[in-house]
Amino acid sequence: MIELYNVSKSFDRIKAVDAVSVSIRENIVFGLIGTNGAGKSTVLRMITGVLKPDEGTIAVDNMPVYDNADAKKQMFFIADEPYFFANGNAETMEHYYRSVYEHFNTEEFYTYLDKFNLERRRKINTYSKGMKKQLALLLGICAHTKYLFCDETFDGLDPVMRQGIKSILAREMEENGLTPVIASHNLRELEDICDHIGLLHKGGVLLSKDLEDMKCNIQKVQCVFTSAEDEARALAGLEILKKEQRGCLCTFTFRGTREQVSAHFATVDTVFFEALPLSLEEIFISETEVAGYDVKKLILS
């Protein structure tokens, strides 16, 4: 398990991470999402020991991380822009990571290279962005660490490659107990594979919940009321996260279970009522709007 308690980090006068506390269970896919500049990359770099927090504690399997080689052997970090040796090729990187990670599977790595059509002796600086991401992911997977940290993992990968990587991650979780931690802006990609979501905003944690629990506790409703009185009765006692109205059609986002919301609307007459499923992207927008990150403020009139 990975545990962060009251972790903060500043760069000069800018507070990138502010009192973050979160736990990451083993053998799940943990998705780290957030607004621009929320501190996702900084959090990953602190968990993996690249950066030292100014305040708070970070433990991986009850071990401190910074300057701890034993803890770092349990982790592989893939940055948004992966680092490779100058003029290096896939063989060069395999030799290096085999010397660092005792469980690195060389045979598996070269098998994957062939399947992904990556030339082992071609200089990496001639690879495309997507090819570099593929190589970094394959190195991370074949290192067979307990935790794999990925910053914008799927950025630059085409749909076929994304599905291929997802399938490999799923197999590694099942067979070897891998725990991937993925930071991304692509919420639709995360929605397919994540079990738990941590949402950062302005350096702090807005929420950390299982994805299914998040979906069960936020409801979207479209309806047309017969009267203003019926609308007031239906909404009384409900926590409204968002309301939009076009003509007579109202669209609400509520916090609560579907049973709670349906019970309120059952007490009034409506011309039209429909409960709709929410995507992770819609949940993100609803939660960040409550925190003051409103898309309407970003649109010029």
Residue 284 in contact with residue 199, Cβ under 8 Å? yes
Question: Tell me, what's the pLDDT at 84?
Answer: 93
Burial of 21 (0-12, 13-18, 19+ CB in 10 A): middle
| Residue 124 confidence (pLDDT) above 50 | yes
pLDDT tens for 190-225 read 887 889 988 887 777 767 888 888 788 888 999 999
Q: For residue 298, what pLDDT band results from cuts at 50, 70 and 90?
A: very low
CATH numbers and ranges of domains, the chain: 2-210 (3.40.50.300), 217-298 (3.30.70)
| Residue 78 confidence (pLDDT) above 70 | yes
pLDDT tens for 181-193 read 999 887 877 887 8
> Between residues 199 and 123, which one has the greater pLDDT?
123
Residue 35 in contact with residue 203, Cβ under 8 Å? no
Residue 45 in contact with residue 9, Cβ under 8 Å? no
Question: Tell me, what's the pLDDT at 297?
Answer: 47
Q: What gap in Å lies between CA 274 and CA 132, rounded to an integer?
A: 45
Residue 204 in contact with residue 20, Cβ under 8 Å? yes
Mean pLDDT over the full length of the chain: 88
CA 296 to chain centre: 24
Which residue matches tokens 């203003």?
Answer: 228
